[in-house]
Structure formats: C-alpha cells, structure tokens
Structure 1
Amino acid sequence: MKRLWFPGAFVALILLIAIAAPVLGLPDPVRQDIARRLAAPTATSWLGRDEFGRDVLSRLIWGARTSLGVAFASALTAGFIGVVLGLIGGWSRGTAAFLSVRSMDIILCFPPVLLALLVVTLLGPGAATLILVLSVLYLPGFARVTYSEVLSVRGRDYVEATRALGGRTWYILLRTVLPNIAGPILVQLSLAVAAAVVLESGLSFLGLGVVPPAPSWGLMIRGARATMEQAPLLLVWPCAALTLTILAMNLLCDALRDAVDPRTSGR
C-alpha cells in the first residue's frame, strides 16, 4: 500500500487543481490579446502568452479540467455499462454471455483510433462526441475483465453459501460477487482514464476533439506547433503536463495492480 501514496497523491493534486480552476482567480482562458501575442513570461503571466495572446497558465489548468473531465466521464460510463454486462454474462452464461460479452468482440475488431476518427467525423467534433466515442472504445475491456472475474468467483464457497441462504441473484452479484472483483475493475478504470487522456489529446490535436477556443492540451500542442520556432516554450508546457499526468496515472495503475494481486501484495 505504501507504493500507492506517491502516485495517488500526485494524481489527486492534478485533479484538485483542475476542479478548483474556477476559484483560482485565473485570467479568462479564451480571452485574446493580440497586442501581447507570444509574450514572454511575466509576473502576471507566469508561463507567457500563446499565439493569440491568451494566458498559457490559465489555458493549461482549464485544459486539464477539459481533458480529465472527458477522460473520467468516458471511463466511468464505459465502466458502469461494462461491469453490468460482465456481471450478467459471467453469472448467466449461455445466450446471455454471448449477447453481453461476445458482442464486444465486434468493437475490438476495429482499430481504436480509426473507429474514433470515423465516429467523430460523422457526428462532428466536441466534448460530448468524445465521451461517446471513448466510452464505446473502452467498454469491451471492462466487460471482458468483469466477465472473467465473475467466472472465477461464482463457484467459491462464500458465493454458494449466499445462494443456499436464499439470496436473490442481484443481491449476490452486488453484495457478494462485485466487492470481491472490485480490484481488477479499479485497475482497468485507471488504465482507461490514462488511455482516454492520450486519445482525447490526440484527437484534439488533429482537430477532431474539443472545439476551439475551448482549452485543451491537444489544442495547445496543435497551436504551439505552428509557432515553435518563435516561442518553443509554448510547446513544452502542454507536453510536460500531459507527460507527467500519464506517468503518474501509469504508476498508480502499477501500484493498484500490485495491491490487489495476492502474489505481490505481501511484499
């Protein structure tokens, strides 16, 4: 559990800063000041101004709010639906398993990035479209993990005892099965959030994600690429924020995996 402290605290700090963005007294992240275009860092603009004269620090923090909001919303949506499908398929098996879990193989047949590009192109860019696309992409992972874990515990003594006492199916699934498979699902959730941040930034960089002038790390990287010769630091800040966030989330994933794995939890 000690390994969870550092990455957990770092991820919590990033989330806290993103959530507190409206009360931090930051400048308007979309307000342009062409006269101060590509201005160097000052006492009032700690990270300088971008190609439209917007405050970089403000856009960085508000961009974290956008990127992490899309990532968590899509991961939680996929997690809820995937866990329900996995519980039903793993417990009922037969036709229910085929319809609820094997149907996920259809989604896995499509390359994730190409599927995302197709859906975003058809529905148009935007945060709502991104959440829908990412939820569909990460749904099979949750369904398959939950399905396999339910199969491994459905014959355990404590499950059979609850069934012998007359517990209803949903009571057994929610009060007995789900708490005992929560570890792998939590690890899958952290992996989905980290992957969603990367994919959201990539789609925004391509112009198929968050719609300008809304702040997003991907949009900041896209805008800074055109002015990297005049102001190279504009490219450094969003790349550093994205790298540190993904690194912290990956460390948290590893720590969660070790915490829930009985082969390593005793070390």
Structure 2
Amino acid sequence: MRKASFIFFAVIIFSIVNYNQTKNKIFQNDLPFRKIDVGEEITYVVKYLFISIGEIKLKVTKREITHNDTIYSAIAYIDSYEGLPFVNLHQIYETKFNPRQIPIFFRGTIIDKDTTFTEYTFNYKSNRIHILKGSKTKNEIWTDSSAVLDREYLDGLSLFYYARMRTGRKASYSTPVFINEKGEKTVIRCYDKPEPIEIDAVDYKVNCVYLDGETEFKGIFGLTGYFEGWFSNDEYAVPIYAKMSVIIGNITVELKEWKKKNWTPPKFYN
C-alpha cells in the first residue's frame, strides 16, 4: 500500500507455527477459542500524545457457506478527523476468512484524490495468490500478477481476528502474513491472567485479558514493531484498549461505542 495509517490492532496478532508435510498449514494451537459475532459494529478513538486524531470502525458483516466452507466477511474503516495538520487518512480494509481465520480474499482501499486499491485472492487449489493493484479514480490496473501460495497466510485484517479468537489462554504464536506482496511474520504472546482496564465509555473497570507482540514489517495500518492489546475477558474477546507504534509515533486505541446484541464490557471484580 502506498500509505500507512495509524490503526490498531487491536490490530495485531499472533504456539509456535508448525506446518504439516504436505499442505503447510498453520498447525499448533490452531483452533479458535472465542466466538465471532456476525452483525457486530465496534468503534474506537485513536489518540496521539493525548490528542484524538481519528476513529476506527470494525464490522463483521456476513456469514455464508461457500464451497462447503463457512466464510465470514469483515471490514475496517479508518478515518482521521478533519483539520489535523499532520494526518489525513481515509482507508477501508476488507477480508473474507474461514472459521480458523484463514483468508480467501483481501482488499485494501486508500481514499484520496487518486483512490487506489490492492486485492489478494487466495486460491488453495492452484496454490497461487492473485495480486491486483491499481487506481479506482483513473480506472487503471498497475499490477496483475500472482505469487506462490506455499502455506496458509493471514492478511492484514484477518490476522487481527486470528489473534482475537485466541486470547485468554497462555500461548505464543508466530504466524505467516501475506502483506506488501510478500510473506512476512507477526509474533504474538497471549496471557490468561485477568486485568482491569479503564476507558471513558463505561464508569467501571473492564475485565480484560492481555497480549503483546511485534511485527518484523511495516503493516497496512502503519503498525510496526512492538504492540500491546487488552480484550474483553468473555466469549467475544472485544478489543478494549491498545498501545502500538505506527508511522507517526506511539498511539493508543480505545473502545468508544458498540452495536452488539446483548453485550456490554464485562466488569472487573477485585
């Protein structure tokens, strides 16, 4: 992607990875632990040096059966606030993944005077990743190529759900990610001890579980290096708060509001 943004997460991710001898699948401690809730919409405020600089909105939009597999669709909207002198970012990321959060499709769109896009289609029958890049504004295709799909990769958004679904149990993950047209790695360490977190959206301490980790690359959201995240200590593992390093420096990401049936942040009891 030509630009990086300031996101999350929460945006993040990731028992050590083993590959089986024939298909190179993500193998150890691979089964999801939490529950994906179709229809959820969660919004976060992003702060830099205590200044609110923008919002992130995450949605799980669909669950469908495709080729005898269950496929979830999710989308992330990243928008900086108007009038800021040092950041002007408007981006959309979309992913489609199976119950283990292994993607079959990814699209990233950077909205600007020249709106550009990147698409990855993961075809496990042909063992290829179709790469498509270009300008939506000019209706141009810049790249139409493919790469070898030699293992199960995550993409820049599905890796967030991969980590989220495995929070709350003590484990370490080293996970392949296909990003910037090549395979990279994200390491994440999950912990099982409950921790209290305070946010402005509720008047009590939220019961959370913690993770941290690092990337060895510059992510699609600008994520780079070390990160920390706190997720609700319940079956949904909603991201509550995060600290991370991005292009402009260190930022925090905090849950602001949510549309999620029969859910509120769980209360921490001493």
TM-score surpassing 0.5?
A: no
Of structures 1 and 2, the larger Rg is shown by: 1
TM-score range relative to shorter protein = under 0.3
Of Structure 1 and Structure 2, which has the larger fraction of its residues in helix? 1
TM-score when normalising by structure 1: 0.27
TM-score when normalising by structure 2: 0.27
